[in-house]
Amino acid sequence: DTEVTQTPKHLVMGMTNKKSLKCEQHMGHRAMYWYKQKAKKPPELMFVYSYEKLSINESVPSRFSPECPNSSLLNLHLHALQPEDSALYLCASSQHEDGTYEQYFGPGTRLTVT
Amino acid sequence: GENVEQHPSTLSVQEGDSAVIKCTYSDSASNYFPWYKQELGKRPQLIIDIRSNVGEKKDQRIAVTLNKTAKHFSLHITETQPEDSAVYFCATNPDSNYQLIWGAGTKLIIKP
């Protein structure tokens, strides 16, 4: 299985809501990533988990809270988001976190904050 | 920090012709150079990558060349087909930073 899955595909939430994005991989990869992608822009790194521990946090606002329950799962908890947080949220995984291995991306969650 | 410039931002070529996209980087310690393709509404997918100890790599119609002295690397697509239409991103991995630094992307349009 060489696929990263994400749920939900689409999410519309108000600024007072709390929601979670989920990501799963069964490739035995030790690194997992959350990216944010705006239209016509490259993916923007948010968080990196290596061996289930948070290793990189790219100064992301605290309204985004990542969680790695086990080596196959990655969650992104959302609360009190702003309209400018509307974007495609991509999860990815790779064998290791050093950036020299292929990153396998999930299909993304299209988030709209109203 | 590392900076990656990608050109052109949009490239339109006739079906069957070749397409070339170029990226320049600033950190001489960069040692890994992947290219990702993202079709409209889809996820980015790695199409080819090259490491700093290699000057060129080919995979069927796709090739990547690396010039470490000039600090640039290029994606070459020959005999372009409609399914090559997508946004292509270059990236690099500076030795001092475990993250990928991405180029701004090139929208490739294949005209029938």
Query: A46 and chain B: CB distance < 8 Å anywhere?
Result: no
Tell me which of A101 and B96 has the higher pLDDT. Answer: A101
Inter-chain touch B89–A42, beta carbons under 8 Å: yes
- Where b means 16+ CB within 10 Å and e means fewer, B75-84 reads bbbeebeeeb
What pLDDT is stored for residue B29 in this prediction?
Answer: 87
Of A42, A56, A106, the CB nearest to B105: A42
Tokens read off for B5: 């410039």
How far is CA B18 from each of CA A11, B13, B56, B78, rounded to the nearest angstrom? 39, 7, 17, 4
Inter-chain touch B99–A98, beta carbons under 8 Å: no
Cα gap B3→B25, rounded to integer Å: 6
Residue B95: band (very low, low, confident or very high) from pLDDT cuts 50, 70, 90: low
Inter-chain touch B42–A107, beta carbons under 8 Å: yes
What pLDDT is stored for residue A33 in this prediction?
Answer: 95
The model's pLDDT over B22-75, given as tens digits with 9 standing for 90+, comes to: 999 998 888 999 999 999 999 999 999 999 888 999 999 999 999 999 999 999
Ranges of chain A whose pLDDT falls below 70 = 1
pLDDT at B76 over 70: yes
Of B43, B99, B105, the CB nearest to A99: B99
Least confident stretch, A1-10, B10-19, B31-40, B80-89: A1-10
Count CB-CB contacts under 10 A for residue A53. 8
Which residues of chain B are within 8 Å of residue A45 when distances are taken between CB atoms? Answer: 99-100
The model's pLDDT over A1-28, given as tens digits with 9 standing for 90+, comes to: 679 999 999 999 999 999 999 999 999 9
What pLDDT is stored for residue B52 in this prediction?
Answer: 86
What pLDDT is stored for residue B97 in this prediction?
Answer: 59
Inter-chain touch A100–B105, beta carbons under 8 Å: no
Tell me which of A58 and B13 has the higher pLDDT. Answer: B13
